[in-house]
A and B are shown apart, each in its own frame.
Chain A
Amino acid sequence: MTATQSPLKPKAYKSSVKPVWCPGCGHFGVLSAVTKALAHLALAREEVALVSGIGCSSRLPAYTELYGFHGVHGRALAVASGLKAARPDLTVLVAGGDGDGFSIGGNHFLHACRRNMDIAYIVMDNEVYGMTKGQASPTTAPDWTHSKLTPHGTGIPSFNPAAIALASGATFIARGFSGDPGGLTRLLVEAIQHPGFAFLQVLSPCTTFRPEQKEWKKMVHPFDEDATGNPVEAAQRIVADDGMSTGLLYRTRIPVWQPANRVSMEVSELEGGFQV
C-alpha cells in the first residue's frame, strides 16, 4: 500500500483524546516521538497499527489516530504477531511498559525476539508498576524500598532487557530516552525501518512513583560506539553498560519470518508436480 496523500504533520497522528498521564510523565515524550517518526516516514495513518497491553504506557493507542488496539495485559506482542501475520502490509508498532512486557507478558517477549516478525516493539520503561500505584517491576533495582509491597526491596536482581533480547535472537536492540525527543524519533524511525523484530527500550520516567527518575536527564549518555552486528561484542557492551546508554546497540539481518497468507501455487501447478 502506498500513501495516497501528501505527508502528514506529526499532529495529524494525534487523536483528540487527552492523555490521563500525570504531569511530567515520560510517556508524553514517547507519544510525541511516535507521531514525529510516522510523519518523517510519511506513513499514511491507515497503514499503521499500534498495539498495546495494559498499563499507563499501554494507553498510547487511544492518543493516536492509527489503527489502535488496547489489548490484554501482557499479550500485546501476541496480538501484534497475529495482526502482522494476517496483514503484512501494515506497519505494526507495539507499545507497553516494563510490567506488561517483562513480567506478565515476559514469555511473549522471548518468542517475539526469536520469531523475528517485522514489528517494532517500544517498551516504555520506568522501572515501576504505575497504574496499580507503585510496585516493583522486573526492571526495578532489588534495593528500591519505596513500594508498600516490598518495603525492603524485592531482593531479586533486575531483568536486563537488552541482554534478554540479544539472547532471544532479537535483530535490532536500541535504547532511547523520552526526554530526548530528537534522538528518540531517530531511533523509532530506524526501528520501524528495520526489517525484522526491532526492540526499543525507552527510559521513560514515572514522576509520581519514581520522582528520582527526574534525574535521568542528567544521567543518560550515548553509547560509546556505533551499533555492532556482532552478538559477542553486543553482549560485552551490555555487561559493561550502566543501563543509561542510549542509541542503537545491535543490528543484524536475518530473514524476516512472515507466513505466506495466501495460496502461492495454483491447484493445476500443484497437480503438475505429481508424476505418475
Chain B
Amino acid sequence: MKRILLTGNGAAAWGARLASVDYVPAFPITPQTEIIESLAGWIDNGEMEGRLVTLESEHSMITAAGAAAATGVRVFSATSSQGLLYGMEMLYTVAGWRAPFVLVNVSRGLSAPITLEPDHNDILAARDSGFLQLHCATCQEVLDTVLLAYRLAEDEQVRLPVLVNMDGFYLSFTREPVEIPERERVERFLPAFEPGSIRFRASAPESQAVAVLGGGPYFYFRYQTHLAARNALKVYERVAEEFEALFGRRHAVVEAYCCDDAEYLFVMMGSFATKAKAAVDWLRSNGWLIGLLRPRLLRLFPEAVFRCELAGRRGVAVIDQNLSIGAGGVLHTEVTSALYGQPEAPPVLASFIGGLGGRDIAPEEFYEMAEVIRKAAETGETPPPRLLYTETELRETRKLQAIAQVERRQLGEG
C-alpha cells in the first residue's frame, strides 16, 4: 500500500484504474477533464489496460457507456454539470437497460447564469433517473467509493448504474494524502465483472429491450428497476463491511460524527461537510452537544438510518447546496419525508440553503445555524427556510445590477 498526494480527480482516476475497467468513453468538461486525461495517460504508457475513446458529446458518451456495459464489460466514465444534464435522456435510458457501470460526476452549478463553481443541482437532477448516487467528502473516499460503486452496480440484486459524486474545485482540484490499495487486495474485493445474463454471445444472439411497451409491461419493468434500487441499501452495507475488513476504512451509509450524545445535528452532503465537522469540534469545545450526519447514499436514501439517528434530537439543521426552484432544499425534503409520522422525530427540522455556485459556507455561518436551531428548539417551532447569504453579498450584487442598468441606458441613448 502506498500513500500519495492526489486530487479528487486523480483519486477518481485511480479508482477506475484499480477497478481494471475495460472501456472509458470520454468527453472533456471542466472541472472533470483531469480524470479522463489521467486514464488516457496510463492507457498510453501501458500502466493500464482498457480502451478510452473520445466521443462528440456527453449524450453520446453516456449512450456508449450504457451500450458497452450491456455487453458485459466493465465501463467507467466521468462528467460534470451541463454535461450530466445534456446526457440526462440517456441516464434514464441506460438505467432502464439495467446496464451496470460507474459514472463520476464532478459537481458544478447549472446554467443559467453560467457558473464553473460547485453546487449539487447537477447531480440532484439525476435523482429520479434510476442511477444510484454516492456522495464523497474526501479524496480517499472518492477512490474507495469508485470501487464500492462497482460492487454495488454489478451486484445481482441491483444491476444498476451508479453515480459517484464529488464537489468541483473544492475536491476535484484539492490534493489530499490518499492511500492507493494494493492491486491484489482490490482484486479480492472487486474481481472481474461476472455479467451473468448481461452479455453478447455470438452463439446466441438476443435482442435487448427493443420493444415499445405501454401500460402493464412498461409499469412492470419500471417497478422492477425501483425494487432493484431498493435492494441497494443492504447490498451497500454488505460490501462496505467487506471493504472495511480488507482495507480498514469504513464508509457507512451515513457518516455520523459526534452524534451519540448530540442534542443538535447538522445534516449535509459532500466535501463541505468537512467544514461542518470543524464547526462541530469548535462548538463542542464551547459546550455544545452537537454532531453531524452526512449521507453517502442519496439514492437509495437511507430513510431508516435517518429515522433512527434523528430520533429524540432537539433540533436539526439540514444544509442544502442546491435549490429545487420554488420548493427549496432537496435534502431537506428527503429528510422530512423520511420522518413523517415518526413519534420521536425532532420537533425542529430547519432548512438552510447555502453554497450555491461555489459560495463558501463560513464557520460563523455554521455557528449561526446552530444558534438558530437551539432558539427554535426552545419554542418547538421550525423556522422558515433560510439562505446563507450576507448583506455584503446582496449589496455587491445590487451594485453590479446598478452598473448594468446605467450601461444599458447609455447604450439606449448612445
Partners in one complex: yes
Contact of B44 among A70, A104, A152 (CB under 8 A): A152
Q: How far is the CA of A73 from the CA of B58 in the complex (A)?
A: 11
A154 touches B41 (CB 8 A): no
Q: Is B270 an interface residue (CB 8 A)?
A: no
Q: Select the stretch in B30-38, B230-238, B291-299, B371-379 that faces chain A.
A: B30-38
Interface of chain A residues 99 through 134 with chain B (CB within 8 A): 103-104, 106, 129, 131-133
With A70-B114, A73-B86, A104-B86 known to touch, is A129 a contact of B28 (CB < 8 Å)? yes
Could you tell me if A72 and B82 are in contact, using CB atoms closer than 8 angstroms?
yes
A149 touching B82 by the CB < 8 A rule? no
Given the interface contacts A46-B412, A73-B86, does A132 sit within 8 Å of B52 by beta carbon? no
Which residue of B has the minimal Cβ distance to A135? B28
Contact of B52 with A149 in the complex, beta carbons under 8 Å: yes
Cβ-defined contact, A149 with B411, below 8 A: no
A132→B28 contact, CB < 8 A: yes
Q: How far is the CB of B232 from chain A (nearest CB, A)?
A: 32
In the assembly, what is the distance between CA of A74 and CA of B36, in Å?
A: 21
B404 to chain A, nearest CB (A): 11
Distance between Cα atoms of A138 and B41 in the complex (Å): 21
What is the 8 Å Cβ interface bit string for chain B, positions 381-414, against chain A (1 contact, 0 not)?
0000000000000000000000000000001101
Given A72-B111, A104-B86, A132 and B30 touching (CB < 8 A)?
yes
Total count of chain B residues near the partner, CB < 8 A: 22
A132/B54 contact (C-beta < 8 A), A12-B414, A149-B37 known = no
- When distances are taken between beta carbons in the complex, the residues of chain B under 8 Å from A151 are 40-41, 44
B45 nearest CB neighbor, chain A only? A151
CA distance A206 to B182 in the complex (A): 42
Cβ–Cβ contact B56 & A150, under 8 A: no
**How many Cβ-Cβ contacts under 8 Å join chain A to chain B?**
55
Query: Once the chains bind, are B30 and A149 in contact (CB under 8 Å)?
Result: no
Q: A46-B412, A104-B56 are in contact. Are A132 and B33 (CB under 8 A)?
A: yes
Task: Determine the chain A residues whose CB is within 8 A of the CB of B412 once the complex forms.
Answer: 46
Complex interface residues of chain A between 37 and 59 (CB less than 8 A to chain B):
45-46, 54
> B residues within 8 A CB of A74?
57, 86
On whether A149 and B26 interact (CB within 8 A), knowing A45-B411, A46-B411, A73-B86, the answer reads: yes
Q: Does B323 contact A (CB under 8 A)?
A: no
| B414 contacts across to A, CB distance below 8 A | 5, 8, 12, 45, 65
Task: Establish whether residues A148 and B82, one from each chain, have CB atoms under 8 Å apart when the complex forms.
Answer: no
Task: List residues of chain B with CB within 8 A of the CB of A138.
Answer: 56
Q: Is A191 in contact with chain B by the CB < 8 A criterion?
A: no
**Closest chain B residue to A44, Cβ basis:** B414
Closest chain B residue to A133, Cβ basis: B33
The answer to whether A132 and B29 have CB atoms under 8 Å apart is yes
Residues on B with beta carbons closer than 8 Å to the beta carbon of A133: 28, 33
Question: Which residues in B have their C-beta under 8 angstroms from that of A8?
Answer: 414
Q: How far is the CB of B136 from chain A (nearest CB, A)?
A: 23
Contact A148 B56 (CB under 8 A): no
Asked if A136 lies at the interface with its beta carbon under 8 angstroms from chain B, I say yes
Q: Which of A12, A103, A132 contacts B57 (CB 8 A)?
A: A103
Give the CA-CA distance A70 to B54 in the complex, in Å.
Answer: 26
Q: Chain A residues with Cβ under 8 A from B37's Cβ? A: 148-149
Tell me, in angstroms, the Cα distance from A5 to B33 when the chains sit together.
48
Please give 11 more A-B residue pairs, beta carbons under 8 A apart, in addition to A73-B82, A104-B58: A12-B414, A54-B114, A74-B57, A74-B86, A103-B56, A104-B56, A129-B28, A135-B33, A136-B54, A151-B40, A152-B44
Binding site for A on B (CB under 8 A): 26, 28-30, 33, 36-37, 40-41, 44, 52, 54, 56-58, 82, 86, 111, 114, 411-412, 414
